[in-house]
Amino acid sequence: MGSPRRAENPPLDRDHLASDPIEQFAAWFSDAQGAVPLPEAMTLATVDADGSPDARMVLLKGSGPDGFRFFTNYESAKGEQLAAKGRAALVIYWRELDRQVRVRGKVERLSPEDSDAYFASRPRDSQIAAAISPQSRPVEREELDRRYAELAGELGKSNPTRPGHWGGYLLRPDVIEFWQGRDSRMHDRFRYSRSEDGWRIERLAP
């Protein structure tokens, strides 16, 4: 990893970290907005029922005291893997800032009301695509186009309601690591681990 902006990063030390990793993430995410083309892009890593790892890019759709939110098809490969294991990891890398955030924790579905609200905020074309796509299943392009045109025609100018196979997830973090690039590969790494008393913070070797 590395970027031309590394020299602009001040050292990351314990005294300048927030005591809560969600607050620290919010500060870094704010820095990334305007500096990174798509700051909400992140890798979601899961394992299947046999323990084989899998990963793909998704979009972060909110973070707060409870954790990190994203949305997808419940019947997709990642949806089935989350149902089987209930745990996942996230990686967010902001190359322009030479920063990385890693998150691990338990995953649960958001409430139907939360999923409805986000679905309603999406562009109509994206709503239709989510409704007709058998995500992760083999399909011919012609079949996808046919399904899309068919539903769009049935709806007229109306928007589809959220299909039952699509909705949101919340990853509740157990561990969050903040990585900041430094010269000579002497990077700064701090790991927050959840404990009964709150969060334990440790510096890790690069």
153 contacts: CB under 8 Å, gap ≥ 6: none
d(CA 203, CA 99): 15
Contact of 94 with 39, CB cutoff 8 Å: yes
142 contacts: CB under 8 Å, gap ≥ 6: none
Q: What angle do CA 7, 36, 61 make, to 5 degrees?
A: 135
- Could you say which of 109, 185, 191, 203 is catalytic? 185
Helices 124-132/141-155 angle, 10° precision: 120
Percent helix, strand and coil across the chain, each to the nearest 5: 35, 35, 30
Whether 194 is catalytic = no
- Kindly list the catalytic residues: 185
